[in-house]
Structure formats: structure tokens, C-alpha cells
Amino acid sequence: MNGQPGLRLSDDAETLYRRVLRTGPAPLDRHAAELGWDVQHAMLVLDDLTVLRLVRRSPDGLLRADDPRAGLARLLDHEDRLLDERRAELLTLREAIGSFELDYRRGLLLGGAEAPLVEEVPRAEVASTAEYLARSTEGPVRQCRETVPAGPVGEHEMSDRRAGLLEGREQRSLFPLSILSEPWWPALAEQRRRTGELQRFVEWVPGAFLIFGDGVTLVKERAGVEADFLLVRHQGLTHLFIALFEALWSRAVPALPPRAGQLDRQLLELLAMGVKDEGIARRTSTSLRTVRRRIAAMMDQHGVDTRFQLGLAVARQGLLDEG
């Protein structure tokens, strides 16, 4: 019990508590003698248990304990209330970050100083910095991710916060194709899509960066989970990141499970890009067998013998034209 969240029992308090539970009503001095304690020490330990309302001394001087399910549940309820109060305090502090930042920037201006064009952001402060930028900027949010946390642990809370911060803003995110093979990705992807995020996937991701509007970028200094970030306020550099993102986005593909009638179109588009069957299967979340069966069926449908001929037939009919 010692060391568990919400339970503040010393080793001696736990020992005495378990003894009272096991042996039934008995005077404190008997417990002290059998444990090899002096009575004064036993009284101090008993005080801790009494404060927590786990053990009580009846009028006849005997120590008694109620059903631990009731006693510990009461203690846990108390600790839950304390946690709720602490969460409320942290939320208030988090919401105040923006106003503190504005005061800081105002101080820089009054002092004749300007915010640095490039500023290092420790890994531990990236989340709060991103939240501040989300609150204090306008325009689209573009994100390039080289890695994603392993599984949707805590993602419900993160998605709710993301939705609140970016409500009404365009959100586009690029991910590596390799993530599609992770078993936890579909659920996580759906949670993120519900916040309004558009997702595409590329073979190679050049690094991690997050662009807010057209004036500020958070970019990871180097590869690795523990790497720090740079906050770039230089508009010229941010425009370079925007150009890189848009170039990658134009080559990337969505990986949403296709609706009926859309799979053939996706297959044809990827074939035209020169993607091999295995890559097509990954990008469309379809089995390799299904991909090959559908391609063969389309060849039969158009009366051709090769994939090259299929491409010509599709082009003649304008099946891949926008519209």
C-alpha cells in the first residue's frame, strides 16, 4: 500500500493497519508489544491511521477497523477531490499562459527589444508553446510528423484540446507511410480527423515541423523523440517551410478507406504514379490480393492485356479527369 497514488501510509502505519484488520479488537499496548514497538511510537502511528479514519479507538480502549472497502474508498474519494482541485489550478495556469506571453512581448517592445527571429524551445515546453501559438495566430495549420506517439494513450483528451484550440481553422498533416502498418493507427487517425484534421501520407518525411498561419514555425532541431525545437519567427524561413509542405502535400496520398466505387479510381491514380502493388495496398488500406484482383478486373472490363494498355484506355475515357 505504501507508495500507491492517493494513499499516504508509512510502512509502520500499514503494518499496524493490517494487524488491526487481521486480529480484531485489541488494546494499543498489546499491538505495540507484539510488534516490538514502544507505546509512544505506536501512539504516533495510530494518530496517522485515526486521521485517515482507517482505525478508531472505541470507548473500551480497543482498536477497531471498519471494512477496508469503505475506509479506503472514503480516502480515495478525498484524494480524487484534491486531484480535481489541482487539475483546475493547472487548467487556470495553462489558460493564463497566453496573457503572460502577451505581457512578456509588451515588455520587450517597451524596452526597445524585439522577440528573437529564432528561439530554442526545450522539448518539455513544446506542447505549451504550440498551444500559445494556436491561440495567438490565425490562418491554416500545417504539420509534418516524422513520428507519432505509440498508440492513442491520452489521445481523447489531446483531441478535445486540439479541437478547441483550432476550431474553424484549416488543419493539414503529413505522416510517413510506415505508420499505416501500425495496428493502433486507424483509431488514432479517426480521433484526429474528428478534430477537422486532413491527413496525407508520403514515403519520406524530411523532419518534424508545425506551421501556424504564414508567419511562425516550430521545427525539430534533429531526429529523435527527445530533441528540442526551434521557434522560427522569420517570415522568409516560414515561407520556405510552407513551400516544402505544399510540395510534399501535392505528392502525398490520402489513406482513408475508400467508399464503394472509389477504390478503382485510387488504384488507377496510383498506377499512373508508378506505385507498385505492395505500395498501393498500403496506401489504400487494402489487401494485396484485392489490389491485383481489381486491376485484373479493370483490364478485362476495358478489353486490354497489359497495365500500359489499361492506362491508355483510362486516359482516352478521361476517367481520371477532375470532376
CATH code of the domain in which 62 resides: 1.10.10.10
Q: Considering the domain boundaries, does residue 4 fall inside one?
A: no
Integer Cα distance of 161 and 134 in angstroms:
11
Q: Which domain, by its residues, includes 246?
A: 118-251
Q: Are residues 105 and 91 in the same domain?
A: yes
- Give the chain's domain count: 4
Residues 224 and 289 placed together within one structural domain of the fold: no
Which of 215, 259, 255 is CA-nearest to residue 238? Answer: 215
Answer for the pair 184, 209: CB distance below 8 angstroms, yes or no.
no
Q: Specify whether 29 is located in the same domain as 57.
A: yes
What rounded mean pLDDT belongs to the chain?
Answer: 79
Between 28 and 320, the more confident residue is: 28
Per-residue confidence band for 152, with pLDDT thresholds at 50, 70 and 90: very low
Residues 50 and 30 in one domain: yes
The one-character DSSP state at 258 is P
Residue 132 confidence (pLDDT): 83
Phi, psi of 194 (to 5 degrees): -65, -20
Confidence of residue 245 (pLDDT cuts 50, 70, 90): very high
pLDDT at 40 over 80: yes
Dump the DSSP string for 195-220. TTEEEEEES-----EEEETTTEEEEE
Distance of CA 160 to the CA centre of its chain: 10
What is the rounded CA–CA span in Å between residue 278 and residue 272?
15
Least confident of 101-110, 258-267, 297-306: 101-110
- Name the burial class of residue 320, with classes exposed (0-12), middle (13-18) and buried (19+) by CB atoms within 10 angstroms of its CB: middle
Residue 225 lies in a domain: yes
Residues 224 and 165 in one domain: yes
Identify whether residues 283 and 240 lie together within a single domain.
Answer: no
Instruction: Tell me: pLDDT of 86 over 60.
Output: yes
Q: Model confidence at 151, in pLDDT bands (50, 70, 90)?
A: very low
Please say if the pLDDT value at position 153 is more than 50: no
Confidence of residue 36 (pLDDT cuts 50, 70, 90): very high
Q: Is residue 32 part of a domain?
A: yes
- What's the confidence (pLDDT) of residue 155? 44
Whether 1 maps to a domain, the answer reads: no
Question: Does any domain span residue 322?
Answer: no
